[in-house]
Chains A and B, each alone.
Chain A
């Protein structure tokens, strides 16, 4: 089962070292934010003490990442994983498109339909009347269910105002 191929999993040493560096930056950000807080005037400890504690933990993990990367440096191999970047790009574009459309007031139904079509494209489904149709109907049904049945507010755009009359 799992656990027996321990050393082959996980990030490559170079990536691991980079994660360690990222953790150091994170610890620095936490520490600076903690220093900004006024000293506590209550008994016990104020809100900055747990931040410092967590920052110390993050530093310890950063060091551990660095040490582990150094110990495994001989194992460093050129990247062999060739992922499907096109699919990934389509899904990311679908997500960012939704955010942009909501920000511009396009409404939930149009945004979600785009999310649906874009994600399906990432998984090999051509953009066609069929996928646009399924996406739009699904988004509209979800919108009606949430606003009518659950009375939760979803961002409305021109299409939603038309739909709700």
Chain B
């Protein structure tokens, strides 16, 4: 415990260096600026801004990254409240209650409870991360490749079964990601797979290209296909920004409950902030003194889900930093950020570069504080960003997307790949396939493959090795349960006859 706090202190001294403070500040501002644009989720914010960090030193760039991430989440909730367009599923609850509040002239308190709740949640969850990660690292150093493989299988299954509402479509998206993960030169033998003689494919499919294609291009094409020429109406922030005593009284318990739901679920390899935010919304509706206010602008319905969202996002950093395991699309993008410097998150990173890891963790505190201090006063500016006419907005998104891809890899092949993924993202949106599992599949697939083959090498080709170790057998068993359970529940529902 004492060790953790001295490590955290070390991290704070790293993060508080003027240069790193500046990176955190730029990250927070850029993240909010991009995240506030309607239709842009935090993971897309991270993907679009990844090229900006290419030339920085690793610590500074990762700190900026964390700022971008938290800024993007903050921006997303602002858009949800003022425009009723949740950038991601995790903001749906905020959009329901927050937008009603804004319509009733209580946009200020809605934004405040979201911002302060996110700050409280981010701070407490970061503390949880700092306490939990070293424990997990101690466990992880004893784990064999079979354990990692089991854990990755569990993560893959839960990510695709919990995103979206169809297990089949989620798994299809995931497996397509696994297929893309196979493309390129095999790292162990140097043989090319599925490259069909295209030189650009030998390096494999870039995670940034896939994410920007699926999210930015796919979303733009989808919006274009449904374009009617009507601009969405922005709710102006009227009245006081400040929360009344009553607002505070009604907010603090939902914040804490949101953290209690968000952090553990985020830290599990189940991933995603979607489940805890919706859970939090349901819990607050049950516990509210005046449940009939829900659906008409109840502040509890903004406070709880926003805190849960932020806590879950910080929670996903636990498996990412301690095990190198990304369990959400955003965590996958963060991992891509690590990989551009050849940094492999996991137990070894805690031992080899403690200043980087703890600097990053400490910068979560600083990023959250900056968000609180910068964003509420700047809300007028952010509202003006929302007023950019739709044609210019989407045109600029496509220019940034193309620019980032070309800057990372200057070839028309890469750009063509981006457009292909864009069309794929468009079709997946049309047919209701979730896109996030595909991104997690692309990054986790090759990692799982490496562990799979290492385990088989160590066991001299004995395929039963995964079931001989109780820990990996348990994890694989859990993965199978996670795969089958939704199907069984669906069957039960059908049996009861309420599967309308």
Contact = CB atoms under 8 A, between A and B. Distances in A.
B225 A85 contact: yes
Interface string B414-450: 0110010010000000111000000000000000010
B392 interface: yes
A125 interface: yes
A37 B191 contact: yes
Given A6-B165, A9-B432, A138-B399, A119 B175 contact: no
B431 A2 contact: no
Nearest to A26: B179
B395 A115 contact: yes
Given A99-B412, A139-B399, A33 B227 contact: no
Nearest to A9: B432
Contacts of A158: none
B229 interface: yes
Contacts, number: 201
Contacts of B406: 102, 108, 154-155
A133 to B, nearest CB: 11
B55 A151 contact: yes
Interface string B24-59: 000000000000000000000000000110110000
B113 interface: no
B283 to A, nearest CB: 14
B325 interface: no
A43 B457 contact: yes
Nearest to A146: B407
Interface stretch (B166-174, B251-259, B338-346): B166-174
Interface in B454-500: 456-457, 459-461, 499-500
A46 B182 contact: no
A65 to B, nearest CB: 7
Q: What class of interface size applies to chain B in its complex with A?
A: 35 or more
A33 B395 CA distance: 39
A91 B220 contact: yes
B193 A33 contact: yes
A3 B500 CA distance: 10
- Most chain-B Cβ atoms within 10 A of its Cβ — which of A4, A47, A90, A138? A47
A32 B423 CA distance: 26
B394 interface: yes
Given A58-B175, A68-B168, A84-B226, A115 B407 contact: no
A2 to B, nearest CB: 6
Given A6-B165, A10-B169, A40 B179 contact: no
Closest 7 CB pairs of A and B: A125-B391, A123-B391, A44-B457, A47-B186, A44-B456, A120-B391, A11-B431
Given A30-B194, A146-B51, A150-B52, 6 more contacts: A11-B430, A15-B431, A43-B461, A61-B175, A91-B398, A124-B229
27 contacts: A2-B89, A6-B499, A10-B169, A15-B431, A42-B188, A43-B457, A47-B186, A47-B193, A49-B453, A50-B449, A50-B453, A51-B194, A54-B178, A61-B175, A91-B220, A91-B221, A91-B224, A94-B398, A95-B422, A96-B419, A102-B412, A108-B403, A123-B227, A131-B391, A146-B403, A150-B52, A154-B406
Interface of A: 1-4, 6-7, 9-11, 15, 19, 23, 26, 29-30, 33-34, 37-38, 40, 42-47, 49-51, 54, 57-58, 61, 64-65, 68, 81, 83-85, 87-88, 90-92, 94-96, 98-99, 102-103, 108, 112, 115-125, 131, 134-135, 138-139, 142, 146, 150-155
